[in-house]
Structure 1
């Protein structure tokens, strides 16, 4: 499988994590508020070794009952995995510009997330650590779900949305 294909599958799975999730409405749970990005140096089942100090260029918003895919624009960061310039940024960066794309209805549960995708409902669990939130699938996985864990963290700087 090519790196590009793996990236697309991973992005689709992370997007699917939040589409049509039964549970509490997003507005009732501010612990998912803000804009979140995946940790650049996390691996499939290994947490980031930099305490999520570097973000990937792709992220998400969980607000107003909607799931929104976000992507940073105008990054010139050179310390990205694989030496890919601009495909990551430092978590402590004071301001970023993003583009957004609505990805569907959002509904969050207090202890787990259920995702309906391609005629199968997948359960994911999550827990917070000091530096990031970890999300992982139940052992009873849908055909489209891998064993991958997702490591995400909230961005706290100023955000400008590109129109």
Structure 2
């Protein structure tokens, strides 16, 4: 099984939580990295692990040869994680993620201002612990995207 490693350069790396990305390839534009659309998480993150894609080839034996060839098989994403500094993120990060995930629309379908970070924090403070954790988990899960390169164009 081969693994494709992503390159993480030494130095400063920025991590943003984005409300929206317009491009279908999920690559944000500079304007989408502005404060109105992005929450900078860089100062909250202490470690990044995983974030690689592995392929499990499928054997294709040929009865006329002793060589067993293979073709590309299933792509799997390894376990990946971001580790946050609890002392910095525990009070502000959950509300920021919930606020960023909340999309409000008017009667024409246009996006309008929705839940603020303060509104989200009020929900987290007033709801029972299990429901508050479920709300935060839902906000995280909705933003997880698995992608695989299927090759050839």
TM-score, reference length from structure 1: 0.22
Q: Larger strand proportion, structure 1 or 2?
A: 1
Bigger-Rg structure (1/2):
2
